[in-house]
Amino acid sequence: MNLYTRLAQLARSQPDKAAIEGTSHSLSYRELDVAARRVAAGLRSRGVGTGDFVGLRLKDTPAHVAAFFGVMRLGAAILPFDWRGTQAEFERVKGQFGPAIILTDGGAPAGLAGAMTDLADVMQAEPDEEPVAPVENAPMGLSLTSGTTGTPKAMVVTHEQLHARCAARTITGVFRPDDRYLSTLPLAYPAGREHAICVILLGATLVIFPSLFEPGELVDHVNANGITALIMSPNSTRALLRMRPASGLLMPGLRTMISATSKLQPEERTDLLARVAPGLIDYYGSTGTGPIAAITRPADIVAPSAVGHPVFGMEVEIVDDDDTPLALGETGNIRVRGPAVSTRAIGAADEREGFRGGWYYPGDLGSLGEDGLLHLHGRAADLIKRGGLMVHAQEVEQALRRHASVQDAAVVGAPSATLGQDVVAFVMASGPVDARDLIRHCRRELAPYKVPARIEFRDALPRNASGKVVKAALLELLE
C-alpha cells in the first residue's frame, strides 16, 4: 500500500475540490497531485529513491503537504526538521539519520544553507510519470520524539500503520469528507503531520493556520471561514476557555474540537462543550501508536483519570512489571498492539525499546474499568517513591490545577537524602498566589505524603515538540 495512490484517485474523482487552503494560496486536488508528482520527479532526478530518508525543513504551507505525497510516491521516507530549530538541533538530527537530501523553502541560517536544496528548484521538474513505488511494510516517515526525557529518537511509521491511524481517527469522528479542517499544529510535528495527511486521504479540505497565534485570531478565523474541525494542544484549548462567553458558544459552527498531546480535566471538557464548541474529542495516544483511546461523549467524562475507550483496531492491556495481565480496576503498565502501532524505533539505545512480545509499552500507568474505559495514572517514570510511599505526579498536578490561580503545573521527584525522593512542583500562575497558599490547597486535596515539599513558580514550563513538559529539564533546574 502506497498512500500516494489515494491522492491520485481523488485528483481524478474530485479534481476541482479545494484540497489545501494556505495563508497565501490554495491547491485543488488536481493541483496537489501535480505538485506532488513534480516533487517526486525532482527528487528522482537527484538520485533519491525507495528507502531513502528525505529531510523536510519547510514552513507550514501547501507545498509542504505536496512534498509529503511526493516523497511517498517515490517510496522514500519523510524525515521532519522543525524550521524554527537551532543549527545544533539540525546537525544532530541530520547526523543521526543521514538523509539523502534535505529540502527547504528559504530562511535557513547561514551555516545551514549549503546543506539543503530549495524545494522550489525541485518542483521545476515535469510531473513524474514513473510507476508508483511499491512500499509494503516500508517506512512512510520517521516521527521524532523526545518523549518527556529530552532525548530524541524516531518512531518508524509505515504506510500501513498511518492508514490504520487515519481509519481509527475517522471512525472515532475526528474527520469527515465534508470537513474544513483547521491545522494549528506544525506540520513538522507528528500530530500535525498525521492529521494533515489523514484529511487529504479522506478527501476533505485542509486549512493551514499559523502555529503561533493569538486565541482571538483563531476564533475569528474559525467563525469567518466555515471551519468544522480543528486540533489544538490543551494549553491552547485552555486559552479559549478563558474567552468563553457567559452564554452561547464561542465557536458555534465548529463540529468538533480535537484535543491531544496531554489530558484535559473533566471540568475543562464540560466547559468546552457548554461554552466553546458543540463537539469535543479528547484522545490519549503516543508517537509510536497514534490514538490509543478517545473521549467522544459527555458520558465518558466520569473521572479525572479517564481518557476514553480504546479506538478502533487498538488492543489495550494492563500488566504488572512481569507482564502478567491485571484484573479490571488494578493499576499497572499500559501495553497496546494493533495495525496502527509502530514496531521499531531508530536512534534509541535499543531499536526494540518499548517493544516486547508483540506489544508496545508507551511508558504509562493505567487501569481498565468494567465499562471498558481506560484510566491514565501517569508516567511510570513519574512515580515518585517518597519514604517508601508511592506518589503519582499526575495526581498532584491535577490537584494544583484545581486551584483558581494555577494555569499549569508539573511535578517531579527530586533526590532526597532522607526520603529517597521528595515531591517538588513547578507552577505557572494565572493569578495572585504564593507557595503557602498552594501548600494549604494541596493539604485539603491530598494525603499528607503527597503534598509538595517545595513549589517553584515559572513563567513557562519547558516543552517538547508535542507540547509535553520535559521533566528532565525541570530536574536540571534543581541541581
Instruction: Return the pLDDT at 151.
Output: 52
Across 346-355, b (16+ Cβ under 10 Å) vs e yields ebbeeeeebb
pLDDT of 286-330, one tens digit each?
Answer: 889 999 999 998 888 878 889 999 999 999 999 998 999 999 999
Q: Give pTM, 2 decimals.
A: 0.84
DSSP H stretches of helix in 353-467? 393-401, 435-445
Q: So what's the pLDDT on residue 111?
A: 67
Cβ(205)–Cβ(17) below 8 Å: yes
Using N-to-C axis directions, what is the helix angle for 234-241 and 266-275, rounded to 10°?
Answer: 50
Most confident listed range (33-42, 189-198, 256-265):
33-42
Tell me, what's the pLDDT at 148?
44
Is residue 272 within 8 Å of 257, Cβ to Cβ? yes
Secondary structure (3-state) at 179: coil
Mean pLDDT of the chain: 91
Distance CA 385, CA 296 (A): 35
Give the per-residue pLDDT at 303: 81
Residue 359 grid cell:
506489544
Distance CA 248, CA 236 (A): 20
* pLDDT tens-digit map of 439-463: 999 999 998 989 999 999 999 999 8
Q: What is the pLDDT of residues 127-176, one digit of tens each?
A: 999 999 998 888 999 998 754 444 567 999 999 999 999 999 999 999 99
Cβ proximity of 276 and 286 under 8 Å? no
Residue 28 is inside which H or E element, if any? strand 26-28
Scan for cell 539540525, then name that residue: 90
So what's the pLDDT on residue 233?
A: 81
CA dist., res. 382 & res. 474, Å (int): 13
User: Which residues share a beta bridge with 123?
Assistant: none
**How far is 383 from 247, CA to CA, in rounded Å?**
41
CB-CB contact of 147 with 464 (8 Å): yes
Cα dihedral sign, 259-265-266-272? negative
| CATH homologous superfamily for the domain 387-477 | ANL, C-terminal domain (3.30.300.30)
In this structure, are residues 392 and 382 in contact, taking their beta carbons and an 8 Å threshold? Answer: yes
pLDDT tens for each residue of 349-403:
544 558 999 999 998 889 999 999 999 887 777 889 888 788 889 889 989 999 9
For the range 147-151, what are the long-range contacts, defined as Cβ-Cβ under 8 Å and sequence gap of 24 or more? 147/363, 147/464, 147/468, 148/379, 148/381, 148/464, 148/468, 148/469, 148/470, 148/471, 148/472, 149/381, 149/470, 149/471, 149/472, 150/464, 150/470, 150/472, 150/473, 151/472
| Whole-Å CA distances, 234 to 241, 252, 282, 299, 369 | 10, 19, 9, 20, 25
Query: Buried b vs exposed e over 325-340: b needs ≥16 C-beta within 10 Å?
Result: eeeeeebbbbbbbbeb
Torsion sign over Cα 253, 256, 260, 263: positive
Q: What percent of the chain clears pLDDT 70, i.e. is strictly above it?
A: 96
Q: Can you tell me the distance from the alpha carbon of 134 to that of 384, in angstroms, rounded to the nearest whole number?
A: 48
Cβ-Cβ contacts under 8 Å for 12 (sequence gap 6 or more): none
Q: Which three cell numbers stand for residue 21?
A: 487552503
| Distance from C-alpha of 299 to C-alpha of 306, rounded to nearest angstrom | 11
Per-domain boundaries in the chain: 387-477
Taking each helix axis from N to C terminus, what angle separates 62-74 and 190-202, rounded to the nearest 10 degrees? 80
pLDDT digit string (tens) for 64-113?
A: 999 999 999 999 999 999 888 778 778 888 988 999 999 999 766 666 76
Range 426-436 average pLDDT:
95
Exposed e or buried b for every residue in 402-425, given b needs 16+ CB within 10 A?
Answer: bbeebbbbbbbbbeeeebebbbbb
